[in-house]
Amino acid sequence: NKALCGQATPLIFGFTLLMPAVSVGNVGKFAIDLIISTLNMRKIGYFYTDCLVPIVGNNPYATEEDNSTELSTNAEVYSLPSKKLVALQLRSIFIKLLFGSGLPPALF
């Protein structure tokens, strides 16, 4: 498997997954942003689903001019192998449920 411009897909088995919870004022998203930025986690990928509003923007963690032109999407995955952490950052809202996902429609 290949990811991110030909780099090998990182193994994340046994890692702890951090992800934002729905909250007032997007506190969960801001908390994940703070963790990713403070721990200097590396982006290892992204995922696509029809359930999220599509968005794109500038790199929210840019620290220098070189990486300020990188794009950010609605669902990205970051990793810190030394601490066995993986963070999922969702920057969009859920808009619909994919049929056959196993989740009951009553949840939304």
Stated pTM of the model: 0.75
Cβ of 70: how many Cβ atoms within 10 Å? 12
Radius of gyration of the chain (CA): 15
CA distance linking residue 58 with residue 67, whole number of Å: 9
Contact 96, 26 (CB under 8 A): no
**Predicted confidence band of residue 100 (pLDDT cuts 50, 70, 90):** low
Among the residue ranges 17-31, 32-46, 87-101, the one predicted with the least confidence is 87-101
Among the residue ranges 61-65, 87-91, 94-98, the one predicted with the least confidence is 94-98
Q: What is the pLDDT of residue 3?
A: 46
Q: What is the pLDDT of residue 24?
A: 82
Domains of the chain: residue spans and CATH? 2-90 (3.40.50.10900)
Segment 27-54 mean pLDDT:
90
| pLDDT tens profile 48-87 | 888 888 888 888 888 777 777 788 888 999 999 999 999 9
